[in-house]
Amino acid sequence: MKSLTRSESLLLLGLFIFLFFSLGTSQLMLYSLDEAKNAECAREMYERQDWVVPTFNGQLRTDKPPLHYWVMMGSYALFGVSEFSARLGSILCGMGTILLIFAFAWRHFNARVAWISALVLLASLHVGVQFRMAVPDPYLIFFLTLAWVSFYGWYQQRKKILNLAIFYTSLGMGILAKGPVALVLIFAAIGLFLLFQGAFRKVFRLWLVPGLAWTLVLALPWYLYVHEATSGAWTEGFFLKHNLERFKAPMEGHGGFFLITPLYVLIGLLPFSIFIPQAFVRAWKQRKEVPSLAFGLSIAIVVIGFFSFSGTKLFNYTVPSYPFVAVLIAAFLDSVLDQEMAWKKLRPSLITYGVLAALLPVAFYLGLRLDPVVSHLAGWAIIFLTFPLGAAAAWYRFRHGEFSRTMLALAGSFVVTAVLFFQLAYPIIDRENPVNQTISSINPEEKVIAYKQFNPAYVFYLNRSVDVVNTPEALQEVLSTEPSVIVISRTEFLPELSTFSELQELARKRDLFETPTTILFRKTPPPLPRSL
């Protein structure tokens, strides 16, 4: 059978990735806090045709720069406002990221490394979740990957002007995706790589002045426009709160010990993360002789190391390292798969994974069973039996010396699990979220307000702003002037809300896998006077 060319492989792989990442995206509500706020912010900007000032619920949103909002606005214009439209840009970024790393591995290693790299990423449930979400991270990951790949093309003396143009354009897009962190990560990784190669002076050949000038031409105008339009409020909120303060200290309870960040990578890249220690050791030993390994290792060290020092630690922060960690894993596996004594190097990792795979279905079952909202759906944990089944199949192939099929068994079990989870189980679990369970209680003509805190998805699905009041006095004023009012809040504020006799509880629903419980009230008319 004729082997596929690189172009044919890219085309088929790209089609598969798009279909794979699209699974479930139209069935899942924009329920998580970040997704709901991002999608609604883009909708508000789209309705105003405002490409400068991001708002959520009519209020300035300073969390992130505008690139993902712009892409969502374009998607809304083409396909209408929907869950799929909000997530389409992330799907395309996921497809682009994997195709980029596939082409990179094919060119600088070989076809097998390219395919294994793609399998490592496609098998990761965390990658699957990340590139299905309406958040800015997929855009940052794609443009960081594009910048690094184009830099390495320049370093290898290939199409130097074109690669530099792509590099500085990607840098500008990264800054518009998530801010100055793109600049820090890209140049820190490049600097470490050049140090490994003893070629740090080459950084001065990067056409830094004209290149960075072009980056500023792309990124700076919006920052200046939004600064002027908001009288500096967006600039202060973004740079001080969402960059400096987030790095200095944990925000919103997202902290943790130093080693939790590399632990995130080990969990996020299962099942192939079992080979990360060996892959990193091999890359370190060969960093002088094999520049492509040194390059991937540099990116992994910088991204993981940078966010290990960050006060705020989130699972998604380390994902920019995944594409190049995948290459390191693939290169390691490629180096041992054809060796007669390969089993000695792979056996400890496979045994470790076998034990872990046996525990994963139990962990998912307990996670569902212990959550009162979805405990009745704990039976869906059965789909995660694919993990131990895949581990058993991989071990069987391994014992028969079929090492390539061993890798396929590992990847296949996770890909099948992802299809079952995103297409079948997750949509059913998602229907239990409080927004989906309670929004039918709200009549279109009713006034809706929130007391102190509420789930932001209400704004997106009501397609209108929700006024927020923060004191009993402000709530009393609204109740005294509106004939019919819906009040959305949380049970933690019940002591204050219970003093309002005119409020009748409509619904109460706990958040999925979270502690807050959403509660809805309706103002009821006073009772009619009793006739004498």
- Does the pLDDT of residue 189 top 50, yes or no? yes
- Does the pLDDT at position 530 exceed 60? no
Residue 529: per-residue pLDDT? 52
Residues paired with 509 in a beta bridge: 518
Question: What is the predicted pLDDT for the residue at 1?
Answer: 41
pTM: 0.94
d(CA 62, CA 52): 12
Report the C-alpha gap between 367 and 275 in whole angstroms: 27
Secondary structure letter of residue 315 according to DSSP: G
> H helices within 158-207, ranges in order?
160-178, 181-196
pLDDT of residue 32: 87
**Residue 157, helix vs strand vs coil:** coil
Q: Using DSSP, state whether 449 is helix, strand or coil.
A: strand
Which has the closest alpha carbon to 41: 512, 460, 451?
460
Phi first, then psi: give them for residue 404, nearest 5 degrees. -65, -40
The string of pLDDT tens digits covering residues 447-464 is 999 999 999 999 999 999
237-272 burial, b at 16+ Cβ within 10 Å, e below that, comes to bbeeebeeebeeeeeeeeebeeeebbebbeebbbbb
Collapsing DSSP to helix, strand or coil, 255 comes out as: coil
pLDDT of residue 444 exceeding 90, the answer is: no
Both structure tokens of 206: 């990067």
* Average pLDDT value for residue range 2-12: 87
CA atoms within 13 A on the CB side of 228: 6
All structural domains of the chain, each given as residue ranges with its CATH number in brackets, are 6-243 (no CATH), 339-432 (no CATH), 435-523 (3.40.190)
Q: How confident is the model over 324-374, as pLDDT tens digits?
A: 999 999 999 999 887 766 667 888 999 999 999 999 999 999 988 988 888
Which residues have a Cβ under 8 Å from the Cβ of 217 and sit 6 or more positions away?
Answer: 172
Average the pLDDT over each of 62-76, 204-218, 309-323 and give the range with the smallest value. 309-323
Residue whose C-alpha is closest to residue 332's, from 297, 364, 368 = 297
Helices 322-337 and 260-268 sit at what angle, rounded to 10 degrees? 60
Name the pairing type of β-strands 447-451 and 485-490: parallel
Q: Look at the alpha carbons of 417, 423, 428, 433 in this order and tell me if their dihedral is positive or negative.
A: positive
264 in Cβ contact with 256 (< 8 Å): no
pLDDT of res. 483 = 87
DSSP 228-251: HHTTTHHHHIIIIIIIIIHHHS--
Q: Residue 220, Cα to own-chain centre: how many angstroms?
A: 25
